[in-house]
Amino acid sequence: MSKRSGLYGLAILLTSLLLFGCAGGDDDAPDGDRADGDMESDGDGEGPADGDAEPDDDAGEDQPTDLFQTVWWEAPDESSLLELLEASDFFAARPELVREMSSWFEHTVHAAPGEEPSNSADLGYYGIGNGVVFGFVGTWYPRNTIHGILGPIFERDPDEGFFSDASVWLERDGRRLKWKEEWAWKWRETQIPLTRMQVSDSPLELDTITFAPAGESSGEEKHCIVQLINVRNPSEEEQAGITVRVQTYSKADGSGEGYIDQERGKMHMKLSGLGETWALLPAEGEDYEALRTPPFSLGPGEERQLVLIYEFRLVEDPLGPGAEAVASRGWETLLYETRDWWRAWHAKGLHIRTPDTRVNDFIEEMKAVVKIQQAENGALCPMSHYTSIWMRDSFGPTRMFLRFGYPEEAWAINDYYYGAASVRNGIGNALDADVPIPDELPPVEWRNREPFTGRLRGEGPTHIPLMHAWLWQYTGEGEKVADRWDYLIYTLENQTITPDGMMYFSGDETFRPQLATNLGMDTDYLFEELTWSSFSAFLFATAAERMAAFGREFSASANDIAWLDERASFVRQKTEEHYWLEEQNRYSPFIYMDTMTPETRPSEDVNTQPVWLSYLPSDDPKVLANIRSVSDEILQDNGILQNRTLDGNELLGFPVGEGIMTGMTPAYFLYNVAELNLPTQDLTFDAVGEYASPAGEIPEVGLFAQPRRALSPIYNRSSKEGEIWARHRQWEGAVAAEALLHYLIGYEADVNQGWIKLSPRLPHESPWIEAENLLFAGHPMSLSYARSAEGFVLRLTAEEAPTTYGLSRLLMKPYIYAETLTRVTVNGVELGREEYEIKLFDNAPAALYLEVEPTEAETTIEIWLND
Please tell me the predicted confidence (pLDDT) of residue 353. Answer: 97
6-30+349-693+728-744 topology per CATH: Glycosyltransferase (1.50.10)
Instruction: State the Cα–Cα distance between residues 831 and 836, nearest whole angstrom.
Output: 8
Instruction: State the Cα–Cα distance between residues 390 and 417, nearest whole angstrom.
Output: 9
* Helices and strands, counts by H and E, the chain: 22, 42
Please tell me the predicted confidence (pLDDT) of residue 654. Answer: 85
The type of residue at 426 is: G
Between 2.70.98, 3.40.50, 1.10.3470, 3.30.43, what CATH number should domain 76-308+337-343 receive?
2.70.98
Could you write out the DSSP letters of every residue in 275-323?
A: SS-PEEE--BTTB--EEEPPPEEE-TT-EEEEEEEEEEEETTSPS-HHH
Could you write out the DSSP letters of every residue in 136-162?
A: EESSSSSTT-EEEEE-SSS--BTTTBS
Q: Where along the chain do its domains lie?
A: 6-30+349-693+728-744, 42-51+747-864, 76-308+337-343
Please tell me the predicted confidence (pLDDT) of residue 450. Answer: 96
What SS3 state is found at 375? coil
The type of residue at 629 is: S
Is the separation of the CB atoms in 507 and 527 below 8 Å?
A: yes
The vertex-465 CA angle with 405 and 496, nearest 5°, equals 150
Model's pTM, two decimal places? 0.92
Count Cβ atoms within 10 A of the Cβ of residue 832 and give its class: 0-12 exposed, 13-18 middle, 19 or more buried: exposed
Could you write out the DSSP letters of every residue in 343-369?
A: HHHHHHS-EEE-S-HHHHHHHHHHHHH
Alpha helices per DSSP H over 100-140: none
42-51+747-864 topology per CATH: Immunoglobulin-like (2.60.40)
Signed CA dihedral, 574, 576, 582, 584: sign only: positive
Could you write out the DSSP letters of every residue in 63-77?
A: --GGGG---SS----
686: left (phi over 0), alpha (psi -120 to 50) or beta: alpha
Could you write out the DSSP letters of every residue in 543-568?
A: HHHHHHHHHHHTT--HHHHHHHHHHH
Per-residue pLDDT tens over the stretch 326-378: 999 999 999 999 999 999 999 999 999 999 999 999 999 999 999 999 999 99
Residues of the chain with pLDDT under 50: 1-67
Instruction: State the Cα–Cα distance between residues 173 and 296, nearest whole angstrom.
Output: 10
**How many of the other CB atoms lie within 10 Å of CB of 173?**
10
The type of residue at 204 is: L
Please tell me the predicted confidence (pLDDT) of residue 256. Answer: 78
Is the separation of the CB atoms in 189 and 346 below 8 Å?
A: yes
In 3D space, the residue among 677, 578, 548 whose CA is nearest the CA of residue 623 turns out to be 677
The vertex-476 CA angle with 475 and 478, nearest 5°, equals 120
